């Protein structure tokens, strides 16, 4: 069948309809143009600001410090991030509001109060009719700060800062110190090692694309890498706690002015515990006397008294002015240069060997022994030991010991005489520890330190050797007899070979000795394989019968018992080496 095409006739558009469409189109164009003018001219700066906020972000630098941890990574000090909240009511604006709109303070408070856990009326009082620069709250946690940020309220600013916390309180305060309100180190390691602890982060801007992808800019490699390193200490927190408790009890018991206890590895100088009493809470440092912030164990000096006698005997052996099996007569007193010197109990001990000199702590015996040594050589030995020099360490800045001038020491016979039993010169407790460590490790100098990154010199390089191996071994055995048979018997522990020496020295004031005492005890263990030195010093115990044996020894024993458990030191019997060689 044949198909036919259908034709449609077009009629002209009515003039009035054409005019309507024309006018409508023109109005749309004019509206678009007006909108464009408004955006490009009147709202340009505001839009540019919003665009920059979307396209770029800035990492803000704030003062931060490394965490401090013990050798087992237990926290000693750390920075806790907190926030301060500032308000500017004249800019209050909620998401989606017109730029010109300003929300009321009451509307903002209603959203803030549940997050901050505060009543509306209390929060409202903080505004005090001010319209800008109002500090609402500080010490806001990260969790709450995140919730406030999520509100996206214009006119609220969160300022991030860090606050130092010391979770173990007073246990480490005399060692670690504290930072002040400006986050600056003000005592202890926080001050002395400030450059190693503080972290400086750069402020950087980063541009992003529409999907949030970072865009290339001029940032250098590593600009956005955070520093998460910690300052590691050689201290063991368990031993620190045990030492602190033992020392605190004894200082209270004897109503002493202060006390100090330290445990150190004799082979490398690593300090395992260091405590002083009294102490303070570094989280509330402003409540305490500033005198407590001082590291007196390295900055204060004292006359070591009888704890220095083993050092003097080592000098006499090195110079061969005495023999190992020699004897000395002790009649209880001796006259030197017109001065009468006597034993602590005013009694004589007859002819005694050198171990006995240490056991009974004979002053007369020591004077006679050291009179065999030329005063010039004696003084030079003391200088070589660093008695009058600063001790380089990572602790507080140390105070150099006081040693009499060489000409005075050589020409006045009383000076070497009193020096023979640890009087007439002064050193810090930390220096005394160093010297006894040398007696224990075969004669080598080690530097006491508490940071695990401390650079200790190695044997065989520039390391100084104070004593020969033979002499140090002999002195250690003589000191062992003090624990087995002498004034240090209170520290004896079955199955363990311990060497020690007690000390009780009078304190001098304005050139005269007073009734005030410093009681001390130094121990080395185990004698068969020396590893640790323990020093306890108690200053000015005020009760009767205060001696190194009664005041310091009990503290040392408690510390050593804890040390044995923590370090898993196996027991040894005195003749172990001989027994294992028998068939």
Residue 134 has pLDDT above 50, yes or no: yes
Residue 461's SS3 state is coil
Give pLDDT, residue 133.
80
- Token duo for residue 305: 């008294």
- Res. 11 pLDDT band, cuts 50 70 90: low
Cα angle 40, 45, 48 (rounded to 5 degrees) comes to 90
Give pLDDT, residue 201.
60
How do residues 212-258 score in pLDDT, each as one tens digit? Answer: 445 555 555 444 444 568 899 999 999 999 999 999 999 999 999 99
DSSP assignment of 43-54 equals: SHHHHHHHHHHH
* Architecture of domain 237-581 in this structure: 3-Layer(aba) Sandwich (3.40)
Give pLDDT, residue 271.
97
CA distances from 290 to 35, 166, 284 (A): 68, 18, 12
Catalytic residues: 306
Residue 98 has pLDDT above 60, yes or no: yes
Residue 74 has pLDDT above 70, yes or no: yes
How do residues 525-534 score in pLDDT, each as one tens digit? Answer: 999 999 999 9
Cα angle 365, 370, 374 (rounded to 5 degrees) comes to 160
DSSP assignment of 16-39 equals: HHHHHHHHHHHHHHHHHHHHHHII
Residue 120's SS3 state is helix
Highest mean pLDDT among 137-151, 374-388, 457-471: 374-388
- Token duo for residue 297: 């164990």
How do residues 269-296 score in pLDDT, each as one tens digit? Answer: 999 999 999 999 999 999 999 989 988 8
pTM: 0.80
Kindly list the strands in the beta sheet with 271-277, ordered across the sheet, starting from the edge strand earlier in the chain.
271-277, 258-265, 532-539, 512-525, 499-509
- Res. 461 pLDDT band, cuts 50 70 90: very low
Taking the C-alpha atoms of residue 180 and residue 172, their distance in angstroms, rounded to an integer, is 16
Highest mean pLDDT among 6-15, 28-37, 66-75: 66-75
In sequence order, what are the residues at sequence separation of 6 or more whose Cβ sits closer than 8 angstroms to the Cβ of residue 147?
115
Lowest mean pLDDT among 81-95, 105-119, 205-219, 232-246: 205-219
In this prediction, residues 293-307 reach a mean pLDDT of 91
Taking the C-alpha atoms of residue 571 and residue 48, their distance in angstroms, rounded to an integer, is 78
Taking the C-alpha atoms of residue 579 and residue 300, their distance in angstroms, rounded to an integer, is 46
Give pLDDT, residue 502.
96
Cα angle 154, 157, 158 (rounded to 5 degrees) comes to 140
CB 523 within 8 A of CB 243: no
Taking the C-alpha atoms of residue 86 and residue 145, their distance in angstroms, rounded to an integer, is 12
Placement of tokens 């009511």 in the chain: 89
Superfamily of domain 58-207+228-232 in CATH is Penicillin-binding protein 2a (Domain 2) (3.90.1310.10)
DSSP conformational letter for 550:
I
CB 478 within 8 A of CB 313: yes
CB 173 within 8 A of CB 77: no
Listed by start position, the domains of the chain span 58-207+228-232, 237-581
What's the chain's average pLDDT? Answer: 86
Task: Return the closest-CA partner of residue 457 out of 445, 475, 467.
Answer: 445
Taking the C-alpha atoms of residue 165 and residue 161, their distance in angstroms, rounded to an integer, is 13
Taking the C-alpha atoms of residue 172 and residue 265, their distance in angstroms, rounded to an integer, is 19
Give pLDDT, residue 360.
95
Give pLDDT, residue 446.
94
Taking the C-alpha atoms of residue 355 and residue 501, their distance in angstroms, rounded to an integer, is 11
């Amino acid at each position: 069948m044949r198909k036919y095409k259908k034709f449609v006739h077009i009629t002209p558009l009515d003039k009035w309809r054409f005019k309507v469409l024309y006018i409508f189109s023109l109005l749309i164009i004019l509206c678009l143009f007006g909108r464009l003018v408004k955006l490009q001219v009147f709202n340009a700066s505001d839009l540019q600001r919003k665009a920059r906020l979307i396209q770029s972000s800035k990492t803000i630098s704030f003062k931060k410090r490394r965490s401090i941890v013990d050798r087992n990574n237990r926290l000693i000090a750390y920075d806790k991030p907190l926030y301060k909240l500032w308000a500017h009511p004249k800019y209050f604006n909620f998401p989606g509001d017109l730029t010109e709109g300003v929300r009321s303070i009451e509307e903002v408070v209603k959203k803030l109060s549940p997050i901050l856990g505060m009543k509306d009326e209390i929060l409202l009082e903080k505004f005090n009719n001010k319209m800008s620069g109002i500090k609402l709250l500080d010490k806001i946690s990260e969790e709450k700060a995140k919730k406030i940020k999520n509100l996206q309220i214009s006119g609220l600013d969160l300022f991030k800062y860090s606050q130092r916390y010391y979770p173990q309180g007073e246990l480490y305060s005399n060692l670690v110190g504290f930072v002040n309100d400006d986050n600056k180190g003000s005592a202890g390691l926080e001050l002395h090692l400030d450059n190693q602890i503080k972290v400086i982060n750069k402020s950087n801007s980063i541009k992003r694309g529409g999907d949030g992808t970072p865009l290339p800019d001029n940032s250098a490699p590593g600009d956005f890498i955070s520093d998460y390193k910690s300052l590691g200490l050689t201290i063991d927190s368990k031993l620190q706690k045990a030492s602190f408790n033992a020392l605190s009890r004894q200082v209270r018991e004897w109503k002493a002015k202060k006390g100090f206890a330290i445990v150190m590895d004799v082979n490398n100088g690593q300090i395992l515990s260091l405590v002083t009493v009294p102490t303070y809470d570094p989280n509330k440092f402003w409540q305490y006397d500033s005198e407590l912030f001082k590291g007196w164990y390295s900055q204060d000096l004292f006359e070591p008294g009888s704890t220095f006698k083993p050092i003097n005997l080592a000098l006499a052996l090195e110079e061969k002015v005495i023999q190992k099996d020699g004897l000395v007569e002790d009649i209880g007193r001796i006259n030197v240069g017109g001065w009468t010197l006597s034993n602590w109990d005013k009694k004589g001990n007859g002819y005694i060997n050198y171990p006995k000199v240490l056991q009974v702590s004979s002053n007369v015996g020591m004077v006679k022994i050291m009179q065999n040594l030329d005063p010039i050589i004696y003084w030079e030995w003391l200088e070589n030991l660093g008695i009058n020099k600063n001790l380089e360490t990572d602790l507080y800045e140390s105070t150099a010991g006081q040693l009499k001038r060489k000409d005075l020491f050589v020409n006045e016979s009383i000076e070497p005489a009193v020096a023979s039993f640890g009087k007439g010169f002064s050193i810090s407790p930390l220096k005394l520890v160093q010297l006894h460590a040398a007696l224990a490790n075969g004669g080598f100098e080690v530097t006491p330190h508490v940071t695990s990154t401390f650079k200790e010199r190695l044997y065989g390089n520039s390391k100084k050797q104070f004593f020969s191996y033979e002499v140090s071994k002999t002195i250690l055995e003589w000191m062992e007899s003090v624990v087995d048979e002498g004034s240090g018997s209170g520290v004896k522990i079955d199955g363990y070979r311990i060497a020690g020496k007690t000390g009780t020295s009078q304190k001098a004031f304005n050139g005269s000795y007073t009734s005030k005492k410093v009681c001390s005890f130094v121990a080395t263990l185990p004698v068969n394989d020396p590893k640790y030195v323990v020093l306890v010093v108690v200053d000015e115990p005020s009760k009767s019968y205060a001696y190194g044996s009664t005041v310091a020894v009990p503290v040392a024993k408690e510390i050593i018992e804890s040390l044995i458990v923590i370090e898993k030191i196996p027991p040894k019997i005195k003749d172990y080496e001989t027994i294992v060689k028998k068939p």
